[in-house]
Structure 1
């Protein structure tokens, strides 16, 4: 061996990832995501995930997590607003995925898990930190009922996503349920019902409300999904006027108006189901 020769040729040198003290490459730490998609009637495998819709899903997840942190700090108004931000992000990710043709199985699963955090766990913990903690077992039982019903509702939705009527949800959607919880906390916070200033009767009432909203998520009541609304089509000019008036109405008292609006939506399911039952009875008579 001459002094110009290396002790080992490049072909015989050990791999850099196997050498001690050398960090492995990124693709060895995180596997690339692959999923099967249908293109022109053929099933092909594609790598990677779509960035744009998953950014909105991540935003919803972050807002839900922030709501929990804010509630732990006693910042209940910020926690309620964060849940509404999560609902906005959640509504955008699906529509953007459909508009840009970037829907995927990964996005659907990621969205469902983010929904469980933002609209299942977060509202229950915010409500528990604000009012239910002082009720003992009754309080945490009401919070658990809500969380469990949110999980059951999301699981049922995922299993029926290909066969369900696109115009209606079966059971109250979890973002709407979370909005009821968040707006309730927001309204009571504005009234000064926080901590020692919260009456026991209100705590019991919101515990019953939390459980009832949870039950509505798994009940077989139809709720209009608003998925049939065409945002790209033309509408009469009066529709824009109504939109402007709606925004003006909300600005008068945002928490109260939002609470009344989502409570009305929650009641619409049982009312619609009663109408269907009456129609069936008339058809059989």
Structure 2
């Protein structure tokens, strides 16, 4: 859903992206490292720090692609690296939230499986030749939910708010999984 806003956001980012001379793959790896720091902040019980670092990581996740497009350095490997780093970043962040005691490990693992399944189904569908970017909870939505949970939880009840955020990711994640399976089934029937 938030990916529909990407073109408007890209117009804001493109002027900055044109001034960045770092290779986009380096920006991708920096974003992954920032996600590791976010996970560490969550693991240490620092919701505000974790949330702010997710924001910074999200910036790198958006700017790397814009730099690649603006500097004519877009590549298949860059897309592969970006997607791979996103999966690791998702895992690190959720594991940090679990380790920090903000959510029961069971719900955290279900959220992690939902996040990985949403991404896997899209990748697998694309191997079969179909576009599969449907669903109500892609990566941007999941990070937005965690970010909101971190900021609201910082000022209220951290465990309750983060548990609700993770439960929301679980529910929306598995709805997205079902949406993508159904979409893929319909599309593959027609091939």
CA deviations over 1:203-250 (Å, ceiling 9, x no partner): 6534522312332442427xxxxxxxxxxxxxxxxxxxxxxxxxxxxx
Aligned to 1:103: 74
Structure 1 pair 74/131, CA: closer, same or farther in 2 (3 Å)?
A: closer
Is 1:152 the equivalent of 2:117?
Answer: yes
Alignment of 1:267-282 (within 5 A): none
TM-score (structure 2 length as normaliser): 0.69
Structure 2 CA distance for partners of 1:98 and 1:203, relative to 1, 3 Å:
closer
* Pairing of 1:40-51 with structure 2 (within 5 A): none
Per-residue Cα deviation, 1:54-112 (whole angstroms, up to 9, x for no partner) = 12201210111011111122212111111121111111112222232222222122111
Higher strand proportion (structure 1 or 2) = 1
Distance 1:217 1:83, change over 3 A: farther
Name the counterpart of 1:53. 24
User: Residues 130, 175 of structure 1: CA spacing in aligned structure 2 closer, same or farther, 3 A cutoff?
Assistant: farther
* Conserved 8 A contact 1:123-1:181: no
Aligned residues: 157
Instruction: Give the secondary-structure state (helix, strand or coil) at the position aligned to 2:23.
Output: helix
Residue 73 of structure 1: which of 44, 48, 59 is its match?
A: 44
Q: Distance in 1 between matches of 2:163 and 2:45?
A: 20
Alignment partner, residue 131 of structure 2: 164
Question: Where does 1:1-285 land on structure 2 (aligned, <5 Å)?
Answer: 52-118=23-89, 120-128=90-98, 129-132=100-103, 139-159=104-124, 160=126, 163-164=130-131, 169-171=133-135, 172-191=137-156, 193-194=157-158, 198=159, 202=161, 205-220=164-179
Aligned-pair distance for 1:157? 2.8
Distance 2:163 2:109 in 1: 15
CA RMSD between the two structures: 2.7
- SS in structure 2 opposite 1:131? coil
**What TM-score, normalized by structure 1, do the two folds share?**
0.48
User: For structure 1, which runs of at least 5 residues remain unmatched after alignment?
Assistant: 1-50, 133-138, 222-285
More helix by share: 2
